Structure 1
């Protein structure tokens, strides 16, 4: 039996009123939406390099570093000693906030310097979004200049699990460290490494050295990681350089981005030979995350 038109009108009116109430409950008057983590300076509609054959992704986080200081709604600059326990050359090193600068040249850049604190004591720097932005699955790209000469220090773009590496042995599914790049080589190569099961006796890693044409001879390169529940692809200037499909190496939990300047012993050369001027600085043009 078809309802009378007047009954239909009353039903439609009731549904509209309910919808309005639901909408009001979802967005109460006077309650502000959380601030966007997308930089207004990021070009509208920009997509990851080499993604023309894929469906468009939504930009959820970006920083073009066009201001005059670090955006602390997105980043924390760390103050922390990072000397490796296995270090044998007597060098000690730290992350120091004083080494992190935002500069206006070339449209805006994050600069992370290398400084000498004392004899055999050096500092790089690190910014990360822990507690401010993390994500599960998506595409990250960072456009970075690594020092032309690798002398015991390097540029790094990496992810760390927000809740640590978890407690399930033998898998990265409950959290991992993803070193998207560590520009540790004097050749035009760099390692891409996955660390999981913590950093103590149970620590495991999977690493591959990838080719990086022009790494030291041209200024900027774009390092990326495209992450799904079943596959991770690492990219260099839009080209895939490593593909991971082993489920034991794929995190299924939230991870946060890190940009850093490291003084690691495994890097080629010696930091004692670094010139400690602008040629030793790591520069980041932008970082972007899509989902």
Structure 2
């Protein structure tokens, strides 16, 4: 299944991907590249405007018009977009867009939902004219019973995962779907079996017959599906999370690394000197930019929130023990743009904090993206290690092929409870495994650059510096 999904995504992304321009390299490339600013953050695709809803300050689409793309908007955020509090009177909503309008701030109070145009809010019940203080704009896909978008249409399928029972609740019966509409900004993965099993097909646009899909014909066979935001389309999540309390956050908004939160070394207990383990990085443009420079003797560059000489089940030279941030259970989220190309590997993971007398060697790889998988389809590599005998044994490994992760920022998260570890990509649950770790863990961001079986052979055509960008990191504890 993964190979089939991978090939579909390859064909799609090869069509829309723009060419990467090689940078000229000179003899002083290291110094030049270290100071070079990273590319600007990409919050939406550059291939035309995303669909969204347009609000008007007067009825019949009159007055001031403001387009809102997919995302959530508080009163302050609406004002920043040009919509003053309690001033919306009509709306245009294209197909594939769902708008929920709220009477109060922070998506609370009376709400109204729109999936089509509304010329006059005074006609609505409850009364809606000049009542909006916050809103949510979502993209959605629609499945149809017959080909050519005929027969019964499903209810809107917004970003999320849908089992057969959940599809039934949306009006989709088993083995029922024969055509589909997908707006730009979404990707839909349809599975032949329940619980995201069996053969799968990926759709990034409308398909009237679902008969020409590389390697699969899934028409009339759908039993579950996942709807995900296309890379680059995911909105930045708010820092507040319902049901959780923020315990640590770094938005990387300054010009230097906050060393009260991070150690600028990568497992220095393994090295002879601190210089060998020192991260190469800048903090600029609102991001942490981990770098590998041309002709550098460093094969990795990383930062950690915990340090100990035994870290990651390996003993080494004595170094100061630092616990800048470690936590047992909670929700851990980062927005990351990874480095492309064979020989590189971008990683965001957690590791035991070494609080106890035994080696706390478990690790949870929230994203491990090796360049050996090619430029157009990358896997997420999730592992949960446990100590076995004198070393570490793999307790659970899951690889899932995803769209190109290197052309845009994506959100990766781990929800860790006493019983399970849930892994998320762009706010969609992708995998669940039983929890096997009962001690605090710290956080590691790392970029590797070396020829190996897992990373792939270094590609000499890819310019330096190699860069992994972290937009933000946030940790939460679950409220009682």
TM-score band by shorter chain is: 0.5 to 0.7
Deviations 1:121-152 (A, max 9, x none): 443311111111100100001100011x3221
Report the Cα distance in structure 1 between the residues aligned to 2:268 and 2:404, rounded to whole angstroms: 32
2:220 match: none
1:164/1:176 contact within 8 Å kept:
no
Indicate conservation of the 8 Å contact 1:157/1:181, yes or no. yes
Residue 282 of structure 1, CA deviation: 0.4
- The Cα offsets for residues 196-249 of structure 1, whole Å up to 9 and x where unpaired, read as 217x85320121101323424x3101111000000110111111111012xxx5
Structure 1 segments unaligned to the other structure (5+ residues): 1-41, 48-54, 84-93, 169-173
CA distance in 2 between counterparts of 1:274 and 1:260 reads 22
C-alpha contact (below 8 Å) 1:112/1:124 kept by paired residues:
no
* Alpha-carbon distance, 1:250 to partner: 2.2
Judged with a 3 Å threshold, the aligned counterparts in structure 2 of structure 1 residues 177 and 43 are, in CA distance, closer, same or farther, namely: closer
Q: Give, in whole Å, the separation in 1 of the partners of 2:327 and 2:436.
A: 14
CA change 1:157–1:44 in 2 (3 A) is closer
Show structure 2 runs of 5+ residues with no match.
1-235, 271-275, 307-322
Alignment of 1:41-60 (within 5 A): 46-47=240-241, 55-60=242-247
- What CA distance in whole angstroms lies between the structure 1 residues aligned with 2:439 and 2:455? 33
Match of 2:305 among 115, 129, 141: 129
Secondary structure of residue in 2 paired with 1:197: strand
* Structure 1 equivalent of residue 289 of structure 2: 111
- 1:63 equivalent to 2:250? Answer yes
CA distance in 2, matches of 1:194, 1:204: 9
Which residue matches 2:334? 142
Higher relative contact order, chain-length normalized (CA < 8 Å, sep 6+): 1
Shift of 1:154: 1.3
Q: Please say if 1:96 is aligned against 2:96.
A: no
Aligned to 1:163: 354
Which residue, out of 379, 390, 401, partners 1:211? 401
Deviation at 1:45, TM superposition (A): 5.2
In structure 1, what is the Cα distance between the partners aligned to 2:355 and 2:368?
Answer: 20
How far 1:111 sits from its partner (Å)?
Answer: 0.3
The match for 1:288 is 474
2:386·2:437 contact (CA, 8 Å) conserved in 1?
no
Which residue of the partner structure matches residue 182 of structure 1?
368
Corresponding residue for residue 432 of structure 2: 243
Deviations 1:7-57 (A, max 9, x none): xxxxxxxxxxxxxxxxxxxxxxxxxxxxxxxxxxx997522xxxxxxx521
Distance 1:260 1:281 in 2: 10
User: What is the aligned residue count?
Assistant: 215
TM-score w.r.t. structure 2 length? 0.41
- Equivalent in the alignment of 2:260: 73
Decide whether the 8 Å contact of 2:338 with 2:346 is kept in 1: yes
Secondary structure at the counterpart of residue 439 of structure 2: coil
Mark the CA change 1:43 to 1:154 in structure 2 (over 3 Å): closer, same or farther.
closer
